[in-house]
Every structure is written in C-alpha cells, then in structure tokens.
Amino acid sequence: MPSHSGFEWSVPADVESLAWDPHAEHSFVVSLDKGMVKGIDVCAIQSDSTSQSTVFTLHAHDKACTSVSYNLSAANLLATASMEQTVKLWDLSNQQPSHVASYDPKTGPVFSISFSKDDPFLLAIGGYDGKLKVWNTLLDAGVSRMVKGDK
C-alpha cells in the first residue's frame, strides 16, 4: 500500500461505479459509461504515473455499465449492470473475464445491483421507474457450473 496520500490516474471514459474485490485485498473494478469494466491492482501502481495498474479490460456492455458487484462466496464472480437493460455475470479467473450468464430483469435500464451478504447468490437489481427485482443467480446453469468447477 502507498505510504503517501495515494495515487491518481485516468480512465478513458466517465466512471459509473467502483467495487473492491473481497477476495483480493489490493484489487478493484471500475465500470465506465462506454460499457467497459477495468480491473485495477493497486499494488501494481508505482510512484511514477506511467505504471500500468490495469490487469484486465472487459467490454461488458454496449451502453453505460452502471453498476458492479462482486459475489462474496464465489471468488471471481462479478455482476455488471447496464443502461441496455441487462445484468451480466462474469468469471474473472486468471484475469481473463469470460461471460457466464445474462439476465433481462424487465426493469428498463438497470442502475444498481448488489449481491446479498447473507445469501450470496441472490442479486438485488434496481431499475428504471422504481422497479426492483431479486435474481437467484445460482439457478442459472452457467453459474451453477462455475460454482461447481465444471466450466
């Protein structure tokens, strides 16, 4: 960790959301208004501004990626939400994101998502016009395979 006040760097679009990885203490993701998600490793940042801290770049959505949430139980499972009215789940194993599942919650544009701390495969979804949903992601075959290790 930095022994000074911190680091600063730029990303190629407006920031929509951030989430620290609960399984990797020095890593977080940032979602952007261009639909991308970037994985950042704080330990990879050097004191010079030219250091590379991005460990992966994922084109998650065609419109703004409005929210991100890590699953607290399944390491490497990340949910993303978008203005394109979808929620997607990603396997971030080996810093090479792969698509696991997609869900249309029928809420219009999705503004916020969050995995439950008590029931880690329940994903709360907040959309347009006050619409809320809860998705049991473990019922999706792709998620079930990932959790069981049967990719």
Q: Does residue 9 form part of some domain?
A: no
DSSP state of 35: S
DSSP state of 63: S
Instruction: Output the CA torsion sign for 124, 24, 144, 102.
Output: positive
Q: Does residue 10 form part of some domain?
A: no
Q: Does residue 46 form part of some domain?
A: yes
Q: Does residue 115 form part of some domain?
A: yes
- Encode pLDDT of 61-103 as tens digits: 999 999 999 999 999 999 999 999 999 999 999 989 999 999 9
CATH of the domain at 62: 2.130.10.10
- Encode pLDDT of 23-72 as tens digits: 998 999 999 999 999 999 988 776 554 456 889 999 999 999 999 999 99
pTM, entire model: 0.91
Q: Does residue 106 form part of some domain?
A: yes
Q: Does residue 6 form part of some domain?
A: no
> In the structure encoding, which two tokens stand for residue 96, read together?
């090479």
How many domains in the chain? Answer: 1
Q: Does residue 5 form part of some domain?
A: no
Q: Does residue 73 form part of some domain?
A: yes
Find the domain containing 120 and state its range: 15-148
> Residue 148 in 3-state DSSP?
helix
Instruction: Output the CA torsion sign for 141, 28, 59, 132.
Output: positive
Q: Are 112 and 131 in contact (CB under 8 A)?
A: no
DSSP state of 120: T
